């Protein structure tokens, strides 16, 4: 029996019970399993945060060691997957490649159809380890470089930078990347996570749920916004225009400025607080504060003019650029982190599943409409 009509875009609708992530959009609070994101960003690492998301509690030292070892051991790709990556057009975007390659990973999963708790955890380890490998491998293939083998002695964050650049990353770059991974790891029922839960709830497989989530993340209103921010900063820099004038013109033309606004936060996105600082610190220490300074001018203007706050994507753009990462890898990097949250939600959904099947308010032609024979149609 259908009841009330939901607001457009399901705004304000509670669509699931979940014990994973809590957001207070008015107070600017984000917490994973009750622990404040500021505390996690300061004290945790990606492996520990992922354990927390999947198991609902912080690990003991032996539990964390075992978890990290299992994640490192899952860094394997079937040779056919590498051949597949090599067969893709070099013009394909890394996000399209990731979407297609994650789907293909299921061909080589030993129990692709299984959706029980233990199988879901095993697949979550595999996907969390493999997604960074896919992103780094395709980037190197398209640049004509050899694919780098993973290093089990490195943390998840350091291993990705190693796979991408073929050089051991500095402690500063590793920590900055690790914090970025913590900050992006989960965000309640954002569009891609909701997509993953809807797919999982049909008792399709985990790879299908994550493939769908990647498709949702790709859009510029969601994870694709970080790339759009950097394209804007590059365009401003190339044209030598004033950043404030640029966004002023965008607003006059009723265009949205990527990296601002949020459906849930009505105050500062707590993730933006860390990314702003990271962008500034990395920019200053690399002697390349240009992108931070440009971003900050834009932020002050948009905040003053439109009362809109920077979201997670605004300062991640300048942060990643200062770390030397190509623009079209920003959204795949979001996926490298968000797989932790997607997996947690898929596991939670399947632990207590019911098909997700809402209703629509019908606004089409009145029933019963006449079926007109084809020869009589105007
Ligand atoms: C995130 C976002 C999709 C949320 O959308 P939403 O909750 O549906 O909000 P709306 O798009 O309805 O925006 C509400 C109002 O704020 C304005 N607004 C919202 N974000 C804006 C932005 N980035 N730039 C300019 N105006 C913006 C809208 O134009 C609208 O104004 P109006 O009421 O005068 O028409 C939206 O803020 C947006 O498109 N931001 C840019 C993309 C982005 O950074 N996405 C990443 C999110 S983490």
- The segments of the chain whose pLDDT lies below 50 read none
- Share of residues in the chain with pLDDT > 70 (%): 99
pLDDT at 177: 96
pLDDT at 1: 59
3-state SS, one letter per residue, for 169-222: CCHHHHHHHHHHHHHHCCCCCCHHHHHHHHHHHCCCCHHHHHHHHHHHHCCCCC
Residue 356 CB–ligand 1 contact under 6 Å: no
What letters, b where the CB count within 10 A reaches 16 and e where it falls short, cover 367-377? Answer: eeeeeeeeeee
Report the helix count and the strand count for the chain, using DSSP H and E. 16, 3
Q: Cβ atoms within 10 A of the Cβ of 173, count?
A: 21
Is residue 288 within 8 A of residue 318, CB to CB? The reply is: no
pLDDT, tens only, 158-185 = 999 999 999 999 999 999 999 999 999 9
pLDDT at 90: 86
pLDDT at 89: 94
262 is catalytic: yes
Residue 277: half-sphere exposure toward Cβ, Cα within 13 Å: 10
* pTM as predicted: 0.96
* Sign of the alpha-carbon torsion through 141, 146, 147, 148: negative
pLDDT at 2: 63
Which DSSP letter does residue 288 get?
-
pLDDT at 4: 82
Q: Which tokens is 68 given?
A: 């990290």
CA distance 348 to 354: 11
* C-alpha 189 to ligand 1 mean position (Å): 18
* Sign of the alpha-carbon torsion through 187, 232, 292, 266: negative
Nearest alpha-carbon partner for 11 in 263, 265, 187: 263
Nearest alpha-carbon partner for 154 in 176, 135, 169, 164: 169
Q: Which tokens is 125 given?
A: 């380890």
pLDDT at 327: 97
* Sign of the alpha-carbon torsion through 248, 273, 33, 43: positive
Grouping H, G, I as helix, E, B as strand and the rest as coil, residue 235 is helix
Is residue 310 within 8 A of residue 273, CB to CB? The reply is: no
Q: Which protein residue has the closest C-alpha to ligand 1 atom 19?
A: 261
CA distance 52 to 74: 19
Phi, psi angle pair for 268, to nearest 5° = -65, 130
**Cα Rg of the chain (Å, integer):** 22
55 is catalytic: no
pLDDT at 3: 72
Nearest alpha-carbon partner for 59 in 45, 72, 71, 48: 48
* C-alpha 292 to ligand 1 mean position (Å): 22
Residue 308 CB–ligand 1 contact under 6 Å: yes
Nearest alpha-carbon partner for 132 in 150, 152, 146, 110: 150
Q: Which protein residue has the closest C-alpha to ligand 1 atom 34?
A: 254
Is residue 139 within 8 A of residue 326, CB to CB? The reply is: yes
Q: Which tokens is 332 given?
A: 């795949």
274 is catalytic: no
Residue 254: half-sphere exposure toward Cβ, Cα within 13 Å: 0
Q: Which atom of ligand 1 is nearest to the CA of 229?
A: 44
pLDDT at 370: 97
| Distance separating the N- and C-terminal Cα atoms of the chain | 37
């Amino acid at each position: 029996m259908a009841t009330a009509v939901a607001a457009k875009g399901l705004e304000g609708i509670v669509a699931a019970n979940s014990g994973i992530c809590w957001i207070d959009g008015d107070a600017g609070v984000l917490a994973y399993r009750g622990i404040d994101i500021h505390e996690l960003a300061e004290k945790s690492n990606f492996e520990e945060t992922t354990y927390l998301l999947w198991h609902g509690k912080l690990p003991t030292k032996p539990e964390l060691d075992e978890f990290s070892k299992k994640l490192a051991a899952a860094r394997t790709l079937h040779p056919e997957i590498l051949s597949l990556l090599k067969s893709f057009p070099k013009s394909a975007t890394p996000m399209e490649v990731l979407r297609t390659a994650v789907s293909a990973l299921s061909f080589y999963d030993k129990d692709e159809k299984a959706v029980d708790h233990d199988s879901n955890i095993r697949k979550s380890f595999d996907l969390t380890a493999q997604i960074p490998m896919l992103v780094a491998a395709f980037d190197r293939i398209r640049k004509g470089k050899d694919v780098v083998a993973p290093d089990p002695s490195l943390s998840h964050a350091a291993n990705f930078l190693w796979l991408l650049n073929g050089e051991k990353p500095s402690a500063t770059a590793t920590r900055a990347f690790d914090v970025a991974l913590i900050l992006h790891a989960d965000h309640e029922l954002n569009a891609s996570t909701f997509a993953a839960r809807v797919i999982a709830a049909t008792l399709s497989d985990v790879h299908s749920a994550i493939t769908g989530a990647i498709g949702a993340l790709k859009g510029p209103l969601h994870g694709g916004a970080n790339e759009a921010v950097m394209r804007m900063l590059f365009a401003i820099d190339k044209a030598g225009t004033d950043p404030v004038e640029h966004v002023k013109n965008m607003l006059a033309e009723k265009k949205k400025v990527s990296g601002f606004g949020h459906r849930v936060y009505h105050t500062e996105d707590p993730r933006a607080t860390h990314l702003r600082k990271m962008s500034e610190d990395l920019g200053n220490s690399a002697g390349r504060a240009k992108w931070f300074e440009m971003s900050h001018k834009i932020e002050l203007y948009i905040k003053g003019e439109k009362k809109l706050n920077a979201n997670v994507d605004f300062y991640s753009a300048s942060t990643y650029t200062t770390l030397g990462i190509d623009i079209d890898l920003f959204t795949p990097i979001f996926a490298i982190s968000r797989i932790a949250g997607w997996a947690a939600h898929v596991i939670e959904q399947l632990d207590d599943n019911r098909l997700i099947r809402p209703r629509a308010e019908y606004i089409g032609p009145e029933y019963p409409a006449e079926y007109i024979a084809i020869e009589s149609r105007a």
